[in-house]
Amino acid sequence: MINKINIKININIKRRLAPAGLVTGLLVFLFAGCKKFMDVVPDNVATINNAFTLRNEAEKYLFTCYSYIPHDGDPNSNIGMLAGNEIWLSTSKRDLSVPAWDIARGFQTSSTVICDYWGGGNGGIRLFQGISNCNIFLENVADTNKVKDLTATERARWIGEALFLKAYYNFLLLRSFGPIPINDKNLPISATPAEVKEYRQPFDSCVNYIAGLLDSAQTLLPMTILNRGTELGRVTKPIAAAVKAKLLVLAASPLFNGNPDYVNVVDNKGVHLFNSQQEDQKWVRAAAACKAAVETAETAGFHLYYYPRTSLTNLSDATLTQLNIRQAICDRWNSEKIWGLSNSRVNYLQNVTMVKLADQYSNISGARGQFSATLRMAELFYTANGVPIQEDKTLDFSHINTLRTATHDERFNVKEGYTTARLNFDRENRFYADLCFDGGVWYLLSSPSGNDENTYTLEAKLGQYGGNNEIGYENQTGYYIKKFVDYNFSYSSNGVNTREYEWPEIRVSDIYLLYAEALNESLPQPTAEVYRYVDSVRMRAGLQGVADSWSNFSKNPGKYKTKTGMRSIIKQERRIEMAFEGSSYWDLRRWKDAAAEYNTPVVGWTTNQASDISYYQPRTLFQQSFVAPRDYLWPLWINELRTNNNLVQNPGWPK
């Protein structure tokens, strides 16, 4: 198990791609069995000349290539988690850096690029440097005269890993900036100033290049990790197939598939960087890649996670269904996690989302409740009938803040006899699995009663034990995020106890819904295959299939039968299933829905009030502003443009 590696690269390459002198190695670990993590620092500082003499040194360099993977289990690093409108914070941001939240508040500029994956500034990672390191690794390990103690099988696998990482870093850059320069090989030290000044390549060329790298990587990668004690987190065929699916869905989506906003974007040679013609064939290609990703994952043994009900037989069906959803995130290396990020041990995220759930724990640290789900997100989840709240013909949500008292039959979701808002009743299980609220039930394994008949509940109004009683550790909306907190979380007299888990970067439900989307877009109308993959995700959440739910409960019963209607259903299904994980931010951009979504007020309940009537008044926290088409792509840093006049700025940003 390797944690830190110091490698000094003694080679001259162009400034932007110079490898780091100090790098952090890939954290590879298995939670079960040990909690120790070794710090390995070589006795002697390695140079390029000796980094590829022996297997052990070469492996350290491979971990250097891994070290650029974003730590998405850390809220300070996961851009999508806070750059949109799913989660809101107190302006004090006590003990939080979270640079991506400045994007949500409209502070992105070309002079200060937030979360800059191109240049590495303001919370970003220098991904071009990571690509450079991959190039160095590939050049040396592909030479069979080097690393002579490396077996042919291992050499092939390592090359596959580096090819994947190179593709993945290009994909992350493409997703943020659109067209990028392609650095397939590092420039020699003899490169002229003109050669150093690269051009951005057309978007479709970038997509084809990255897809080619992923195809090459897949032929060399293992299907599964066999040495689970030391290698979990390293890439496999299912991971590469899933990233290719994500890449081609991105390329087929409206932002990049015939977007008229980009028709006049050309470089200084007159080359058009975007294809202005919409191509339906891109959705066909994306659907094929998604199907391949699904089949590869299933062949490797991945499937939707269901909590093993034999472990807890004293729980209600509602709680067990909600554990299906919660523990799909929190159970270590479970069957749904196609790619778990072992560089992101999710502990801190649990602390900032968890809340104090009883009077005796009101003064402990480690349960801050700072991450607030917006009212817009609370409204997004379906009703108990599996349709949007504005469509349900049997349940009335026209007055979401009407007060209502929970009955005995509702006790597994809302504390019996407790008064809370209408919005918190009659909702689907993912609402109760992902969120908690004033009066909401929060089952933990440490439940005082041992079951969910008398478990933890949240009382969150001002002056109550879960309310905003500590400056900076405040919940702004009245909705707390339960999704990231492992049900093994417990309180003690000394604080809290958390069980760490690896961040689920790619889940089975994610690629199921991507496949359904791509297939729906590639066909004249939805088919049984489209419904099948959406329904499988819904069934895990305790819902009926799309056809039954819409036919029986929707004011628009035929919605699911049309391509347009099913598109809307899939979009909402993705936003619910992937809520708060950082996915929706990127989805809304590729769908070109971000301008409509992010030009609305951020709203929550009035959480600084003590009475029911005062607390359940909607309160505007912030008026977001999203400028289209400018904000759909990150700006290139002004200084980067001054250094390289062959680069052109993205539309709408100062040049």
> 299-332 pLDDT, tens per residue?
999 999 999 987 667 899 999 999 999 999 999 9
**Which tokens belong to 170?**
């290009």
Same fold, 78-299 and 506-604: yes
Could you state, in order of their start, the residue ranges of all structural domains in the chain?
78-299, 347-499, 506-604
Residues with Cβ within 8 Å of 503's Cβ and at least 6 positions away in sequence, in order, are 71, 72, 73, 340, 341, 344, 346
Q: Is 398 exposed, middle or buried (0-12, 13-18, 19+ CB in 10 A)?
A: exposed
290 has pLDDT over 90: yes
Torsion sign over Cα 511, 513, 516, 520:
negative
Report the pLDDT value the prediction gives residue 468, as an integer from 0 to 100.
Answer: 85
Report the pLDDT value the prediction gives residue 10, as an integer from 0 to 100.
Answer: 31
22 has pLDDT over 70: no
Task: List phi, psi (to 5°) of 515.
Answer: -65, -45
Using CA atoms, how far apart are residues 341 and 333, in angstroms rounded to an integer?
Answer: 10
Residues with Cβ within 8 Å of 456's Cβ and at least 6 positions away in sequence, in order, are 357, 358, 441, 442, 443, 444, 447, 448
Confidence of residue 630 (pLDDT cuts 50, 70, 90): very high
Closest CA to 403 of 383, 418, 416: 418
Report the pLDDT value the prediction gives residue 94, as an integer from 0 to 100.
Answer: 85
SS (H, E, C) 176-202: HHCCCCCCCCCCCCCCCHHHHCCCCCC
Report the pLDDT value the prediction gives residue 470, as an integer from 0 to 100.
Answer: 81
Number of continuous H segments (helices) and E segments (strands) in the chain: 22, 14
Using CA atoms, how far apart are residues 527 and 523, in angstroms rounded to an integer?
Answer: 8
- pTM of the full predicted structure? 0.92
Report the pLDDT value the prediction gives residue 64, as an integer from 0 to 100.
Answer: 95
Residues with Cβ within 8 Å of 116's Cβ and at least 6 positions away in sequence, in order, are 122, 123, 124, 634, 637
Confidence of residue 50 (pLDDT cuts 50, 70, 90): confident
Quick: pLDDT tens for 215-230.
999 999 999 999 988 8
Mean per-residue pLDDT for 512-522?
98
32 has pLDDT over 60: no
Using CA atoms, how far apart are residues 16 and 9, in angstroms rounded to an integer?
Answer: 14
**Composition of the chain by helix, strand, coil, percent to 5:** 40, 10, 50
286 has pLDDT over 80: yes
Quick: pLDDT tens for 556-590.
999 999 999 999 999 999 999 999 999 999 999 99
Indicate the CATH number for domain 506-604. Answer: 1.25.40.900
Indicate the range of 14-23, 363-372, 433-442, 631-640 predicted with least confidence. 14-23
Only one residue has tokens 């609402």, namely 431
Torsion sign over Cα 13, 15, 21, 22:
negative
Using CA atoms, how far apart are residues 409 and 476, in angstroms rounded to an integer?
Answer: 30
Quick: pLDDT tens for 205-264.
999 999 999 999 999 999 999 998 889 999 999 999 999 999 999 999 999 999 999 999
Report the pLDDT value the prediction gives residue 472, as an integer from 0 to 100.
Answer: 81
554 has pLDDT over 80: yes
Confidence of residue 170 (pLDDT cuts 50, 70, 90): very high
Using CA atoms, how far apart are residues 149 and 369, in angstroms rounded to an integer?
Answer: 52
- What is the 8-class DSSP label of residue 447? -
- Give the CA distances from residue 213 to residues 162, 168, 169, 491, in Å, rounded to whole numbers and listed in that order: 10, 9, 11, 47
Quick: pLDDT tens for 600-617.
999 999 999 999 999 999
Quick: pLDDT tens for 398-414.
999 999 999 999 999 99
Indicate the CATH number for domain 78-299. Answer: 1.25.40.390
151 has pLDDT over 80: yes
25 has pLDDT over 90: no
Quick: pLDDT tens for 462-493.
999 888 888 888 999 999 999 999 999 998 87
